[in-house]
Amino acid sequence: MPRRLATRKDRPVHSEKLRSFAKKGGRGRFGWGAPGDEMDIPEMDRNDPCYYSGEEDDSYVLISREEQERSLASKAGISIRAHDRRVAAVPVGSPPRYSYDPAKAREKPIISLPLFKKKVIKILREYFVSADIEETGRCLQEIHCPVFHYEFVKRGITMAMDRHNSKRESVSKLISGLYPKVLSTNQIGKAFERLFEQIDGLALDTPGAHGVLTKFLSRAVLDEVLPPAFLSDPVVVSVGGTIIEKAKVMLSCSHGLARLEHVWGPSAGRPVNELKAVIKQIINEFLLSGDVDEAAKCVRELDVGHFHHEVVKRAVVISMDRTTVQQRRVSKLFEHLVQQEVITKMQLQMGFERLVQVLPDMTLDVPAAAGILQAFIADAIGSKLLPEDFATTAPSAPVSSPSKAVAAAAAASSARKNGTRADGSAAP
């Protein structure tokens, strides 16, 4: 009978690695350790940058949610009786409501509210002219009546409702500039609550008052003079209604915060350099599309009637090196803007006078600039946008010689008829 070979199972177990049963009390393979090992935590080194001991921090105190709300309410000047379940707690975002308790009587104002209103109207009228926030704040503090400061905010918004967007931007900057030294969150919140109550009457005198007040409210939250919790306060929501809901939409929409920075239009509060850049963008888009109605709408939204001469100057300068078709578009744009009363004839004439003054500099970049400008002036005189004697009364611009100017004008005129560029190249 053949001898059977020994296998692994027949061999005796002499190694602990081959043990198939678990060791009692051991952690085993892939184990977390024996029970109780989690309590044996090594002490951290005090020199370790991550070392922190909560026992040594005396200011670290655990409090309940109720105690936290009571602490926030007391800091805001709100009295809450936590033991009385029937008394509802006033949220922190809302201005304080006084209980009119004789034991907690407030100080009597120095002047009456009607007299305070008269002084505030005078201060705001001066601010609309000077736009000096510091002087306005100083005049308001000299009245020594902070209990009526909400009326200052309310009056400023109502006076700006029937004014241009630039004045509304000034009022938004005034409220933000006087916070928190002169105006407090409670005073600004109370002013908006009074405006919510009177918005229906204001809408009779100022159409679109609801939308204007919504923009003021959204801008106040953006400028952080009002907390976002103000929009969720039950009392404010019940009084504000649709204005609160629209403000929430404006703040939560895509790129809403960036849009609210210019909620009063692209020109409100902008420096001259940024305004010139906006005008340049409008002209470039018009030269590509040729939509005079859209261009007129954009110029009207700028709301800078005193700066419309820059629109005329920028349009002519940009079209200098463009095709004759685009130059004719600019002439049609001027005619449309004047007919729609977007730009006055005085602003148009002022723009052409500035072009005549800077003609030598334009000639360095565009040799035929003199002829192109003469063609624009001729079109404007033909459309009765400029007086017939404008060519003689306009400020004279130094040119190399009269013959060159006449030749340039003739070249520009022939180029417009032949459909070529002013420099002689073929138009695309």
Specify if 338 maps to a domain.
yes
Q: For position 252, what pLDDT does the model report? A: 87
Specify if 241 maps to a domain.
yes
| Rounded distance between C-alpha atoms, residue 386 and residue 377, angstroms | 8
pLDDT of residue 245 exceeding 70, the answer is yes
255 and 208 both lie in a single domain: yes
Specify if 12 maps to a domain.
no
**Cβ pair 340, 296 in contact under 8 A:** yes
- CA 355 to chain centroid: 34
234 and 340 both lie in a single domain: no
Give the pLDDT confidence of 333-349 residue by residue, as tens digits.
Answer: 999 999 998 999 999 99
205 and 315 both lie in a single domain: no
The average pLDDT across 248-267 equals 75
pLDDT of residue 194 exceeding 60, the answer is yes
Beta bridge partners of 420: 426
Supply angle C-alpha 75, 80, 83, rounded to 5.
135
Which of 104-113, 261-270, 359-368 has the largest mean confidence?
A: 359-368
Specify if 371 maps to a domain.
yes
Specify if 219 maps to a domain.
yes
Q: For position 83, what pLDDT does the model report? A: 41
| Rounded distance between C-alpha atoms, residue 101 and residue 85, angstroms | 21
397 secondary structure, DSSP code: -
Q: For position 86, what pLDDT does the model report? A: 41
Cα radius of gyration (the chain): 37
2 secondary structure, DSSP code: P
Domain limit, last residue, from 260, 286, 320: 260
217 and 156 both lie in a single domain: yes
Q: For position 82, what pLDDT does the model report? A: 41
| pLDDT bucket at 165, cuts 50 / 70 / 90 | confident
Domain limit, last residue, from 210, 227, 260: 260
The average pLDDT across 310-318 equals 93
| Residue count (the chain) | 428
| Rounded distance between C-alpha atoms, residue 252 and residue 246, angstroms | 10
| Rounded distance between C-alpha atoms, residue 39 and residue 361, angstroms | 84
Q: Which tokens hold the place of 54? A: 């909560």
Specify if 381 maps to a domain.
yes
Phi first, then psi: give them for residue 420, nearest 5 degrees.
Answer: -115, 175
313 and 217 both lie in a single domain: no
306 and 183 both lie in a single domain: no
The average pLDDT across 291-314 equals 87
Give the pLDDT confidence of 72-127 residue by residue, as tens digits.
Answer: 656 555 555 444 444 444 444 566 666 666 666 677 888 999 999 999 999 999 99
Q: For position 100, what pLDDT does the model report? A: 64
Give the pLDDT confidence of 367-413 residue by residue, as tens digits.
Answer: 999 999 999 999 999 999 999 888 666 555 444 333 444 444 445 54
Q: How many domains are there within the chain?
A: 2
Q: For position 390, what pLDDT does the model report? A: 83
Q: Taking the alpha carbons of 302, 305, 306, 307 in that order, is the dihedral positive or negative?
A: positive
Domain limit, last residue, from 217, 240, 260: 260
347 and 402 both lie in a single domain: yes
Domain holding 279: CATH number?
1.25.40.180
| Percentage of residues of the chain with pLDDT beyond 70 | 66
Specify if 102 maps to a domain.
no
Q: For position 319, what pLDDT does the model report? A: 93
Q: For position 260, what pLDDT does the model report? A: 76
| Rounded distance between C-alpha atoms, residue 396 and residue 234, angstroms | 68
More confident residue, 248 or 46: 248
Single-letter residue type at 349: Q
Q: For the chain, what is the mean pLDDT?
A: 78
List, as one string, the DSSP characters of 218-238. HHHHHTTSS-GGGGG-HHHHH
| pLDDT bucket at 317, cuts 50 / 70 / 90 | very high
Specify if 184 maps to a domain.
yes
Q: For position 417, what pLDDT does the model report? A: 47
pLDDT of residue 423 exceeding 50, the answer is no
**Among candidates 197, 130, 196, which has minimal Cα distance to 122?**
130
278 and 240 both lie in a single domain: no
| Rounded distance between C-alpha atoms, residue 225 and residue 387, angstroms | 52
- CA 283 to chain centroid: 24
117 and 255 both lie in a single domain: yes
Which SS3 state, helix, strand or coil, does residue 147 take?
helix
347 and 245 both lie in a single domain: no
Instruction: Quote the strand ranges of 225-343, DSSP E.
Output: none
236 and 298 both lie in a single domain: no
252 and 323 both lie in a single domain: no
Q: For position 218, what pLDDT does the model report? A: 92
Helix axis angle for 113-130 and 149-161, nearest 10°, is 50
Q: For position 44, what pLDDT does the model report? A: 72
pLDDT of residue 36 exceeding 60, the answer is yes
Q: Which domain holds residue 119?
A: 113-260
Burial 41-53 (b: 16+ CB within 10 A, else e): eeeeeeeeeeeee
